């Protein structure tokens, strides 16, 4: 999605580099995205180890 390109290009720039204009994301939406950084560090501490293996082994039977 276009949003992805924007985010990825931003991640290449420095933190001081504040995005000035953005027609896709509202100011508030942008603020929410900024604030998420606070919680990423916390999530890093609880994220299951060996993510790749865990995800690979996660196979469910169909249900319903």
Partner 1 sequence: MGLPKVIGTEVEYGIAVRNAPDFNPVMGSSTLINSYAGERARIQWSFDEESPGRDARGFGYEDALPSELDSGLVNVVLTNGARLYVDHAHPEYSTPECSDTREAALHDKAGEVVMARAVARTRELMPADERMFIHKNNSDGKGNSYGAHENYLIARDIPFGSVVRHMTGFFVTRQIFTGSGKLGSENGRGDVDFQITQRADFFEEEVGLETTLKRPIINTRDEPHADSAKYRRLHVIIGDATRAEHQTYLKLGSAALILDALEDGALVEPLLLANPVPSVTAVSHDPTLQTTLELEDGRSITALEAQWQYLEWAKKYVDGGAEEPTYVEVVELWESILTDLEIDPRRTADRLDWAAKLVLFEGYINRDGLPWDDPKLRMLDLQYHDVDPEKGLYSRLVTAGRMARLFSDDEIEGAVNAPPPGTRAYFRGRCVEKYRDALVAANWDSLVFDVGGDALKRVPMMEPLRGSKELVGDLIDQAESAGELLQLLGGE
- Tell me which residues in 34-63 interact with partner 1 (CB under 8 A): 36-40, 42-43, 46-48, 51-52, 54-55, 57-63
Residue in the block written with tokens 């996660």: 58
CA–CA distance, 55 with 34 (Å, rounded to integer): 28
Distances (CA, A) of 48 to 2, 38, 53, 61: 30, 19, 10, 22
Which of 11, 16, 17, 23 is close enough to bind partner 1 by CB under 8 A? Answer: 11
Write out the residues near partner 1 by the rule CB under 8 A: 1-4, 7-8, 10-12, 24-26, 28-29, 32-33, 36-40, 42-43, 46-48, 51-52, 54-55, 57-64
């Amino acid at each position: 999605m276009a949003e992805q390109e924007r985010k990825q290009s931003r991640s290449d720039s420095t933190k001081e580099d504040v995005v000035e204009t953005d027609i896709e994301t509202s100011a508030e939406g942008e603020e929410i995205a900024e604030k998420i950084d606070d919680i990423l560090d916390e999530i890093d501490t609880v994220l299951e180890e060996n993510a790749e293996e865990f995800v690979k082994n996660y196979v469910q039977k169909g249900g319903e």
